Amino acid sequence: MTKRRLASYGLNLVGVTLLYAAITLTFTFNAFGKSTTYIQGICTTACYTIIMVTSLNLVVGFMGEFSMGHAGFVSVGAYVSAIVSGALAGHGLSDLGLLLVAILAGGLAAGLMGVAVGIPALRLRGDYLAIVTMAFAEIIRVCFCNFSITGGGKTMSGILKLSTFDRAFWIMVVCVTIMFLFVRSRFGRTVQAIREDYIAASASGINVTYYKVLTFAVSAFFAGIGGGVYAHYMTAMIPTNFNFNYSAELLSEVIIGGTGSLTGSIIGAAFLSSLPELMRDFSTYRMLAYSVVLVLVMLFRPGGIFGRWEFSLTRLLDRLAHPKAKAKKGA
């Protein structure tokens, strides 16, 4: 890794830390008055939603496949992590340690499920893959409706309240960073080559099925992590929360932000997950506004808000420091 790249990562870490400090200070000094706790809850929701959406973008944006079953992986992570945290509670682990162990268990369970689904499903493409992944999510939902350990179709309550904004924020930062390094690695570039030309990649000797299944498993793993954070924030779940509509919502956030852009996934997830909540006072029209936003973006930015562009703090500072060089390049 070059010194320039290390410096870039360090600068972005400083930027993320400053963002966290700014948000935390607004909560500490009660900047929103009586709504501060409510806004903090929205920010926590945005954090775990970002993990789910960026993980889905690995499949849809970077691998170029259409998956409609992401809610299934989220639900596996949510339920497994809730069961693990309940089993380990009172065994000497701190709240943070218990949360980390639980969400890792949920992520691993979802990742293994991703491998199990990916091996047969990823030999298909396009609409056929979408149908198979949608069927998988529905099978998982029905199973959770019939397992007594998950509530047997009723609400699974009594889950420990372990997810706070601070923990959700830094878990989100770590997950997004790992996914960013993944797509920038040699492995990630190979996956993107498969996306650009499936036949050429296969003809050049790339084991296409292997790379696709592994990417699918990585995506499922992080979806499970997001589900674990979700479970320990909501403290109660019901299988119908993870239906087809939830998969469609996550997919719409990927497409609106921009397929192939982690920056787009972050902005799309943060905005679209908070929009219905911010408009709760206008409950009659909030879903209408949500739909209008989707339609407008598809009409005027069919590639998503960010397309495949990624935000870089280093690039931004370089342009601010050398505006003349930018103008000369544009000329």
The predicted pLDDT at position 327 comes to 47
Residue 147: is its pLDDT beyond 90? no
Q: SS3 string of 217-248?
A: HHHHHHHHHHHHHHHHHHCCECHHHHCHHHHH
Residue % of the chain over a pLDDT of 70? 93
- 221 pLDDT higher than 70: yes
pLDDT of residue 281: 66
Residue 9: per-residue pLDDT: 81
Residue-wise pLDDT for 291-329, tens only, equals 787 788 878 887 788 888 887 777 777 777 777 655 454
Q: How confident is the model at residue 153 (pLDDT cuts 50, 70, 90)?
A: confident
pTM over 0.95: no
Q: Is 278 exposed, middle or buried (0-12, 13-18, 19+ CB in 10 A)?
A: middle
Q: Given this model, what pLDDT does residue 78 score?
A: 95
Percentages helix, strand, coil for the chain (3-state, rounded to 5) are 80, 0, 20
Least confident among 71-75, 134-138, 148-152, 195-199? 148-152
Quick one: pLDDT at residue 259? 87
Query: Model confidence over 56-86: pLDDT tens digits?
Result: 999 998 998 888 889 999 999 999 999 999 9
Neighbours of 270 (CB within 10 A): 20
Q: What is the reported pLDDT for 7? A: 79
- Amino acid in position 190: T
Read off the pLDDT band of 100 (50, 70, 90).
Answer: very high
Average pLDDT over the chain, rounded to an integer = 87
pLDDT at 326: 52
> Alpha-carbon distance 54 to 225, whole Å?
12
- Model pLDDT for residues 160-172, shown as the tens digit of each residue: 999 999 999 999 9
Question: pLDDT tens digits, residue range 263-283?
Answer: 989 988 888 777 766 666 665
Residue range 143-160: average pLDDT? 85
Q: How far, rounded to the nearest angstrom, does the alpha carbon of residue 114 sit from its chain's CA centroid?
A: 15
In tens, the pLDDT along 180-204 reads 999 989 999 999 998 888 888 888 8
As given in the structure block, the two tokens for residue 46 are 């945005």
Count of helix runs (H) and strand runs (E) in the chain: 14, 0
Counting residues of the chain whose pLDDT is more than 90, the rounded percentage is 41
